[in-house]
Amino acid sequence: MALSVPNSLMDQGEKSERVRKLLKISVRQIVLLNALDEFRNMGRAAISMHMTQPAVSHLLQQLEEKLGVKLFERLPRGMEPTIYGEVMVRYAKSVIHDFEHAEAEIAELSQGASGLVRIGSVIEPVPFLLTKSLLAFKAENPGVRISLEVGTSDTLVPLLIRGDLDLVLGRIPDQLHNQNLEIVFFEMGEHMSVIARPGHRLASKKKIDFSDISDATWILHPVGSPIRLRIESALKQAGMTAKLDIVETASLLATTAMIEESDMIAVVPHDVAQHYAKYGMVTILPIKLPTLMVNPGMITRKAKTLSPAAQKLLHCLKQYGKVLSAIPSAS
Residue 72, beta-bridge partner list: 81
Burial label, 35 (beta-carbon count in 10 A; 0-12, 13-18, 19+): buried
Beta strands (DSSP E) in the chain are 72-75, 78-81, 115-121, 144-150, 167-170, 181-186, 190-196, 217-220, 245-248, 265-269, 283-284, 292-293, 297-301, 323-328
CATH topology of domain 113-188+295-328: D-Maltodextrin-Binding Protein; domain 2 (3.40.190)
C-alpha to C-alpha distance for 260 and 197, rounded to whole angstroms:
5
> Which phi and psi (to 5°) does residue 241 adopt?
-95, -10
pLDDT (0 to 100) of residue 70? 93
- DSSP-derived secondary structure for 46-100: HHHTT--HHHHHHHHHHHHHHHTS--EEEETTEEEE-HHHHHHHHHHHHHHHHHH
Domain 13-91 carries which CATH code?
1.10.10.10
Mind listing the pLDDT tens digit for each residue in 2-27? 445 455 544 555 655 555 555 568 88
Mind listing the pLDDT tens digit for each residue in 62-113? 999 999 999 999 888 889 999 999 999 988 888 887 787 777 777 766 665 5
pLDDT (0 to 100) of residue 177? 65
What's the CATH class of domain 190-293?
A: alpha beta
C-alpha to C-alpha distance for 299 and 84, rounded to whole angstroms:
27
Are 291 and 234 a contacting pair, CB within 8 Å? Answer: yes
Rounded to 10 deg, the angle between the 53-67 and 27-39 helix axes is 110
For residue 327, pLDDT over 50 is answered with no
Which secondary-structure segment (H or E) carries 113? none
Q: Enumerate the domain spans of the chain.
A: 13-91, 113-188+295-328, 190-293
Nearest to 144 by CA among 175, 118, 178, 173: 118
pLDDT (0 to 100) of residue 326? 45
Mind listing the pLDDT tens digit for each residue in 162-217? 888 999 999 887 766 656 889 888 876 667 889 999 999 988 888 888 778 878 89
Question: Do 13-91 and 190-293 have matching folds?
Answer: no
For residue 129, pLDDT over 50 is answered with yes
For residue 230, pLDDT over 60 is answered with yes
